[in-house]
Amino acid sequence: MKKILFCLLAISYFCIPWSAIAGGPVKVEILYMNHGPLRDSIEGIKKVLSQYDGRVAVSWYDFDTEKGEAFMAKKGIRQHIPLVIWMDNQVKFKVDGKDVIFAGFPTGSGPLFFQGKWTMADLQKVLTQMTGKK
């Protein structure tokens, strides 16, 4: 019985985001390129994030700065990518039954080659779920 309890405790440690347990804000980390084509998307992300005041703690990392380079090294990013969003150290989420990774430009914006398969509505759904907003 003790082994089963220990296993369940260990599994919950890795599966449940600590912010959900602690009730603290969702940690949002954004690596971005501060270039013209991405600025509209950045403004859209800021608009979405503003709806979660106090429930998200946002850190921005400019790809072209020393701080951004250190962050990329920490996260193991080596390729040229215009945008990546982590939430509680995760990059992959389920949205309406599909896997979504918040990387590249949102669908329908920016150069086709750099478009991800996500939308601002996807970002909002994940943040709503993670913050418990009804």
Residue of 37 and 28 predicted with greater confidence: 28
Note the pLDDT tens digit of each residue in 79-98: 888 899 999 999 999 999 99
pLDDT score of 23: 66
CA distance 125 to 30: 17
- Beta bridge partners, 59, equal 29
Contact 92, 100 (CB under 8 A): yes
Please give the average per-residue pLDDT across 5-24, as a whole number.
Answer: 46
Quick: pLDDT tens for 101-131. Answer: 999 888 666 555 566 789 999 999 999 999 9
In the chain, the domains with their CATH numbers are 22-131 (3.40.30.10)
Task: Count CB neighbours of 95 within 10 A.
Answer: 17
Position 114 scores a pLDDT of 67
Residues 84, 87, 91, 95: is their CA dihedral positive or negative? Answer: negative
**Letter for the amino acid at 134?**
K
Confidence band, pLDDT 50/70/90 cuts, at residue 14: very low
Asked which of 12-21, 47-56, 94-103 is least confident by mean pLDDT, the reply is 12-21
Burial class (CB in 10 A: 0-12, 13-18, 19+), 75: middle
- Tell which residue, 95, 91, 83, 85, has the closest CA to residue 128: 95
Q: What is the DSSP letter of 46?
A: H
* Average pLDDT across the chain, whole number: 82
| Residue 24 CA from chain centroid, whole number | 16
Residue 124 sits at φ, ψ, to 5 deg, of -65, -40
pLDDT of residue 113: 59
